[in-house]
Amino acid sequence: MRSIRFQAVILTLILALLTTACSSGGGSRSAGEGGGGGGRAAEPIKIGVVTSVTGPLAGYADQEIKGLKLGIQYATGGTNEVLGRPIEIIIEDDTGSPDVGKQKAVKLLEQDKVHILQGSASTPVALQIASLAEQYEVLYMVDPAAGDQLTTTDFNKYIFRTAGINSQDALAGGKAAIEKPGDRVVHLAPDNAFGTSAQDAWNPVFEEAGGVVVRNINVPLDAKDFATYLQQVRDLDPDVLMVTWSGGNALKLFQQIGEMGLFDQMRVTTSIGDRASLQGLGDAAVGLRGVVRYFYTLPKTPVNDWLVAEHQKLYGEPPDLFTAGGMAAGIAIVEGIKKAGSTDAGKLIEALEGMSFEGPKGTYTFRKEDHQALQPMYYVEIVKDGEHDYPVPRLINELSPEETAPPVRVN
């Protein structure tokens, strides 16, 4: 009798275990669903970043990455999760080389199985990755690469760009540089896709304002000494020297402009660089006018207030030139996924086209035709103030997204 009771108890326990196992294991989750309690951990959403962790643009990449992480943190309310799934960022160094960038992007796509690509600090690298995004049908959120080609001649539907571009800079600052009809302009820029794109964007604006572009001078991006090129500028004796540059040797370029007396000989205008450039130039930059895409004191928005405070807390310094763009990219990715309810590229494209979102500079809107984010831009003068130990941008004019919207030039 005791044996029969014991067997019954064992049978009851076995049935209970089987019932529990069946109830906890039933059903499967798709990649777009949250990973709630009781089941396996939710699949992470993987963002693959290809950017110049080393090389001439390393400072820009550092700003981009910090901004991207802060943008995701802001847009997810600090959870770093969307649709119930954790967000994982995988960073690869393109070293500033298009070939290396392409290899790293293939690794992210084929080995890491990323859902979204982001980057790069270099336009030539970004052009290589853009074609891969189309091939693999994966969304590519571009920032800070500014060459117009990505949203004009080399555009494909998988590219979205939060970065400001050369044409937006030109529309914000080109007309202001021309003071009288016939002003002669020389445009010095890197000998790469970014530099030629800038010349193609700015020069027509100078000419529409009555200026005459007398020469384009293109310089290798890795140049260490600019004296030969600046002597060409001096010999041409223009009214305006337009300087387009990016990278760590920008400081050397502007120092040599000052040493050769060109600030006194002609009006020098540019897209204002990052904080390191302003600190390095010192008093030589005072009075310089130009366009800046972001300086932390300029936007008066709740998002920027949060960015400045959080960046100061985490890194002991304010955000820099491309931090805001990285943050905008992070916010756009999260808001796009929320709206699409998925990481599927087709659904994301549908969600992002025409989408507006609030970023550090205010309202950004992805134009449907070319996926360029229209955004506020700033025309400034470099001045000394009592709050900084280096010259800083003083706002002359904040231009609306509509005022600096470039023409749609998708092939």
pTM for the full predicted model: 0.84
The pLDDT assigned to 338 comes to 98
The pLDDT assigned to 22 comes to 34
Please identify which residue in the block is written with the tokens 């396996």. Answer: 40
The pLDDT assigned to 120 comes to 96
The pLDDT assigned to 251 comes to 84
CB proximity list for 175: less than 8 A, separation 6 or greater: 205, 208, 209
The pLDDT assigned to 153 comes to 95
Could you list the pLDDT tens digit for every one of the 411 residues in the chain?
434 333 433 333 333 333 333 333 333 333 333 333 445 689 999 999 999 999 989 999 999 999 999 999 999 999 999 999 999 999 999 999 999 999 999 999 999 999 999 999 999 999 999 999 999 999 999 999 999 999 999 999 999 999 999 999 999 999 999 999 999 999 999 999 999 999 999 999 999 999 999 999 999 988 999 999 999 999 999 999 999 997 778 889 988 998 999 989 999 999 998 998 898 888 878 888 899 999 999 999 999 999 999 999 999 999 999 999 999 999 999 999 999 999 999 999 999 999 999 999 999 999 999 999 999 999 999 999 999 999 999 999 999 999 999 999 997
CB proximity list for 377: less than 8 A, separation 6 or greater: 164, 168, 169, 171, 172, 291, 293, 398, 399, 403, 404
All structural domains of the chain: 45-164+299-375 (3.40.50.2300), 167-292+378-399 (3.40.50.2300)
The pLDDT assigned to 39 comes to 53
Which residue in 380, 374, 171, 359 sits closest to 295, CA to CA? 380
Instruction: Tell me phi and psi for residue 117, to 5 degrees.
Output: -105, 150
The pLDDT assigned to 249 comes to 85
CB proximity list for 157: less than 8 A, separation 6 or greater: 134, 349, 371
Distance CA 172, CA 167 (A): 9
CB proximity list for 409: less than 8 A, separation 6 or greater: 148, 152, 153, 370
